[in-house]
Amino acid sequence: MGRAGWLIVAAAAGYAWLVPDDSRLDLDWWTVIALAALAVLGELVEFVAAKRVAFGGPLHLDEGAAAVHDSLFLYGAGPAPGNIS
């Protein structure tokens, strides 16, 4: 997640602070807290994934998807020519 996630949290906090509470476009502070919690969760996932690879246990997160999808399908355009290997 890195900086992008925290920039989203900061932008949401700034927006929640600047927009009046009675506005139709108001952002609740609970939403900002939820975004911050998701940013922390993302950081934890990145940290654990980095440690897992460093300890010699590769993650292979793409193997399950590769077993199910053997070609690229573009919705609305149909299957793309050739297979993804």
* 17-53 confidence digits (pLDDT tens): 999 888 888 889 999 999 999 999 988 888 887 666 5
Residue 78 domain flag: no
Residue 19 domain flag: yes
Q: What pLDDT is recorded for position 23?
A: 85
Provide the domain limits for residue 46.
2-58
| Count of domains observed in the chain | 1
Residue 4: count other Cβ atoms within 10 Å of its Cβ: 10
Residue 9 domain flag: yes
Residue 85 domain flag: no
Q: What pLDDT is recorded for position 44?
A: 87
pLDDT in tens, 69-79: 555 555 555 55
pTM over 0.75: no
pLDDT average, residue stretch 57-67: 57
The residue among 1 and 9 whose pLDDT is bigger is 9
Residue 79 domain flag: no
Residue 46 domain flag: yes
Measured distance CA(67)–CA(49) in Å, rounded: 22
Cα radius of gyration (the chain): 20
Residue 76 domain flag: no
Residues in Cβ contact with 73 at an 8 Å cutoff, skipping those fewer than 6 apart: 79, 80
Residue 34 domain flag: yes
CA distances from 51 to 1, 31, 56 (A): 16, 30, 9
Q: What pLDDT is recorded for position 45?
A: 84
Residues in Cβ contact with 13 at an 8 Å cutoff, skipping those fewer than 6 apart: 32
